[in-house]
Amino acid sequence: MNRIVLSTTLALAAATPLAVRGQDSSDNLNRFSFGPTIGFNFKVEFYNSSPCLFNVNPGPPTGDANHNYDDGYVRVDSSGDAGGLTQNWGYQNASQYNAAGLGTMQFHAIEPGGSSSATSNPQYGGELIYQRVIGSLPLISSGDWGLETGFGFTDLDIRDNLGGTAPVITDTYQLNGVIPPGPGYQGTFNGPGPLLGDTPARSIGSASISGYQKLSGQLFTFRIGPFAEWNFTPQLSLAASVGVTLAPTTLDYDFSETYSVAGGGVYAAGGHSSKTALLYGPYAGAMLRYDFTKCWGVYVGARFQNLNDMNLSNDGSSARLDPGVTLYATVGATWKF
């Protein structure tokens, strides 16, 4: 709310000394301007608290303990792992079984992926601007002031392509001659089921990462505030404005990740979430206009805008849109009447 209070205060402060309608303002007191916009400096922070499963926790490399992996689990059973064996275990992939000797089972826990940031430029949209001239600028022979409103939209599409490596814990358990059930087996606390040694031999390796994280959607803006315009010639003018922006925003967060462990299989994760929120904050802008006739002209403009953040999450992964101080550039046509 501090942004709204600050913006409103600035807008009222700018308008207060100009509250007298001048007699020499233009006959065309209303202006509509429309043109495409290009937005810069939209930032997204991506966070990944766990690459595959939200509850992955390999625990210490000791027996009589619960171990949860990306491709299975080895947990304490109803006997309390009597004799250092447990029937409360399960696995997913055939590659985890090694039949050599008395046989072993391997389980993997991929370390969290951490965070990354992305800035995608430019972001495209458009804006319709309405200006109403209210009076003449004091102490300036050729200038007007008035109220400005703008209705705009921006299509957002910001993507971070994943790469590199992630640490992987590999725990190896002894089967002691037991032939395991097929992949997808899930043992239970009470059993019965084949017994697996409950104390792992642990090693640390790495997994290669591929995939993407993406934030997409629409940001709609309604802004309002006073403007002041200086006329350099009868055709050329420069207007400056300040005020507050309200921005209803709808976003989709998608991620798809693949982790390839050397000799340990491939693990994939993905998700989708959507959210709508009202963002807000101050803006300041300028418009340079050239009038070809009494009613028609063209303009170029720029606007700085500062909105609050927006967060989305899904299965331990999340994205934070940071509109921060964004810059819009625009060009278009103006109709005065």
pLDDT digits (tens, 9 = 90+) for 226-244: 999 999 999 999 999 999 9
Q: Quick: pLDDT tens for 80-123.
A: 999 999 999 999 988 899 999 999 999 998 876 667 788 777 99
Residue among 333, 335, 309 at smallest CA distance from 321: 309
The pLDDT of residue 21 is above 80 = no
Residue among 243, 190, 274, 198 at smallest CA distance from 11: 243
What would the mean pLDDT of 41-61 be, rounded to a whole number?
75
What integer pLDDT is reported at residue 263 of this predicted model? Answer: 65
The pLDDT of residue 68 is above 80 = yes
Domain covering 2-51+113-167+206-336, topology:
Porin (2.40.160)
* The two three-digit tokens of residue 263, written as one number: 């000799």
Strands across the sheet containing 67-69: 67-69, 72-74, 89-91
Tell me the pTM.
0.75
Which residues have a Cβ under 8 Å from the Cβ of 232 and sit 6 or more positions away? 238
| Residues 218 and 153 sit within 8 Å (Cβ to Cβ) | yes
What average pLDDT does the chain have?
Answer: 87
Q: Quick: pLDDT tens for 243-282.
A: 999 999 999 999 888 888 876 678 777 889 999 999 999 9
Q: Quick: pLDDT tens for 280-331.
A: 999 999 999 999 999 999 999 999 999 999 999 877 788 999 887 899 999 9
Helix, strand, coil content of the chain in percent (nearest 5)? 5, 60, 30
What would the mean pLDDT of 186-193 be, rounded to a whole number?
92
- What are the residue boundaries of the structural domains of the chain, listed by start? 2-51+113-167+206-336
Q: Quick: pLDDT tens for 134-184.
A: 999 887 778 899 999 999 999 999 998 888 888 889 999 999 999 999 999
